[in-house]
Amino acid sequence: MSVSTPPSVSTPRTTWYGATPAQQGIWILDRIERLRPTYLIPSVLEFTGPVDHQALTGATRATLARYPALRSRFRLDTRHRRVEYRTDGAPAEVGFIDAVAEEWTAQELAALIEALCYTPFDLGAEAPARAEIIRTGTETTLLVLTVHHIVFDATSRELVLDEITGRYRAAVLGTPFTPRRAVHPDEVRPAAPAADLAERVSEAAARLRGAPTTVDLPYARDPHGDLPMLGGWQRTTLDAGTTERVTEAAAREGCTPFMTGVALLAGALARRGEQRDFLFAVVWPGRDDPASAEVVGMFMSTLILRVGLTATTTWRELLATARTAGMETFIDCDVPLDALAAELDADREVGRLPLSPVLVNMADSPGTVALAPGVRGRYRPLEPQYSKWDLALFVHLDEEDGERPRLGFSLDHPAALFDDAAINDLLTALRRGAADLAHDPEDLVLKPAAEDKVNDPAARLEMVRAVWCEVLGTDHVTDDISFFDAGGDSLRLVVLVERLREVSGRMVKTVDLFRAGTVRGQADLLATLGTTGDGNGGGGSARDRLLGAVRQQKAAGPQG
């Protein structure tokens, strides 16, 4: 893309959100007003080490002042029914608080951080960004940075923090610093919709038409009602062996971890209800043009992906469907969501998310930030967190140094919408699906549930026997020999616990398998345990269960 002379930051800018500025502009402002906390991008970095607070404050102030997007002011042009913005406003405010000298309590400090993270901006009158440097201890300092999503995305955060740290190092070390050019977002913003937009919208709509614009979720209350957006989340992680088999099966179908997550979520939801056709939202970075790689601005967009299955669909086929769905969705990444939603669901409620209440995305796992020699920063978890989607599945691929990769899933949601047990059941369903996929990709997705196997003594025995063979790497095991006599060890016992929990849905614990050490004993044991969602798994304290297991084993005597 050719770029002309950079426009001045004082030049007014007008932007349209999609093909129908009147409809989408009003929709954007309405969503911003109704879901304010979810349209902010707060970051809390905790630096450990000797920090020059004056230098950090100055570096942050200079950085935020340079970027046009961070000086924006917005207004709704009621005459032309469109949203406009200017980039000639005063820069964002940056302050410093010495919480140690001022004797802030922990509760007062938490309240301050929450206010900095979630107080809404007046987009018409103030900069859509703020930052505060807070000294919290002799060797700890917080940088609280909050920017409105309308001008900011994950890439922008990396760019801003990179410049802040660069300016800081230059200030404390006395070295020169040359910042990148502060490009105005309009220089690289995608061109106005092409002349064939109507045709593109029609083609994309044809791919999605017929699928329900709702998802059958285990709601605890009406999702259409007025409810707080305060978030809740739970996470589960697969063991390394299951991860390896799942990713190998996915790779054979050309699936990324994201596409694998789509397949597993569709399978989990189909297994728990009658819905077989799903629309999921996907966040697209929107930085296809290399020129946008170093621009602070909001380029992300929301895409809609469709995935479905039938009674005869295998896991391999569902992976292939998820891959095709993902590719088709990404091809249509320039089709505006509002135009697509108007085509498919013209009567939708303006305040609701269009086409799907469920998001699927790869997790963003920011690393540490090196501020200066001897000073490193880490991202602190946000407290509280707010959720925009009814349900968001984030797919993690954890690759720690020296460890085998592990695939994980976290579910994010407004806390008021679901019981903890319902979310735990969904995570269990994801784990079961991953275990089934790892065991045999040619298995039917909608095969009889694990609960049916657990209730059938013969099927339960066969299930435990198969897991033993898998964990021990053998084709045959004897039902009445102990796990350790069959070749097991403490590491394999951990894997056995994970696998039995996944395939049975029961709250298996290591101490349980210590008590019932054979295939037959563990099959009988599964029938007595609670499910992974009921949180009991046996009754009594951990000490009681441990001593009970030891006493039972002692009473039983040596196993021959």
Q: For 130-139, 140-149, 333-342, 452-461, which range has the lowest pLDDT when averaged over its residues?
A: 452-461
Q: How far apart are the two ends of the chain, measured CA to CA in Å?
A: 77
Of 127, 160, 187, which marks where a domain is finished? 187
For residue 31, the model assigns a pLDDT of 45
Q: What is the pLDDT of residues 250-289, one digit of tens each?
A: 999 999 999 999 999 999 999 988 999 999 999 988 888 8
Please check whether residues 168 and 234 belong to one and the same domain.
Answer: no
Please check whether residues 151 and 269 belong to one and the same domain.
Answer: no
State mean pLDDT over 387-403.
85
The burial of 555, by beta-carbon neighbours within 10 Å (0-12 exposed, 13-18 middle, 19 or more buried), is given as exposed
What is the 3 state secondary structure string of 444-510?
A: ECCCCCHHHHHHCHHHHHHHHHHHHHHHHCCCCCCCCCCCCCCCCCHHHHHHHHHHHHHHHCECCCH
Is 139 a member of any domain?
yes
CATH of the domain at 257: 3.30.559.30
Sign of the dihedral through C-alpha 298, 417, 227, 45 = negative
For residue 8, the model assigns a pLDDT of 34
Percent of the chain with pLDDT over 90: 44
Please check whether residues 425 and 470 belong to one and the same domain.
Answer: no
For residue 560, the model assigns a pLDDT of 43
Give me the helices (H) in 174-298, please: 197-208, 240-252, 257-272
22, 17, 51: which is closest to 138 by C-alpha?
51
Task: Name the pLDDT band for 26 (thresholds 50, 70, 90).
Answer: very low
For residue 398, the model assigns a pLDDT of 82
Task: Name the pLDDT band for 351 (thresholds 50, 70, 90).
Answer: low
Is 2 a member of any domain?
no
Task: Name the pLDDT band for 12 (thresholds 50, 70, 90).
Answer: very low
State mean pLDDT over 458-469.
85
Is 113 a member of any domain?
yes
Please check whether residues 16 and 149 belong to one and the same domain.
Answer: yes
Is 238 a member of any domain?
yes
Give the DSSP H or E segment for 168.
helix 154-173
* Residue range(s) defining the domain that contains residue 43: 12-187
Please check whether residues 128 and 203 belong to one and the same domain.
Answer: no
Percent of the chain with pLDDT over 70: 84
Give the DSSP H or E segment for 195.
none
Count of domains forming the chain: 3
pLDDT at 550 over 70: no
Is 138 a member of any domain?
yes
For residue 401, the model assigns a pLDDT of 65
Is 483 a member of any domain?
yes
Prior bond of 218 cis (ω within 30°): no
pTM across the whole model = 0.76
Q: For 243-247, 499-503, 524-528, which range has the lowest pLDDT when averaged over its residues?
A: 499-503
Please check whether residues 130 and 276 belong to one and the same domain.
Answer: no
For residue 365, the model assigns a pLDDT of 72
Please check whether residues 203 and 347 belong to one and the same domain.
Answer: yes
How does DSSP assign 377-433, residue by residue?
EEEPPPSS-B-SSSEEEEEEEE--TTS--EEEEEEEEEGGGS-HHHHHHHHHHHHHH
Is 373 a member of any domain?
no
State mean pLDDT over 526-549.
54
Higher-confidence residue of 93 and 345: namely 93
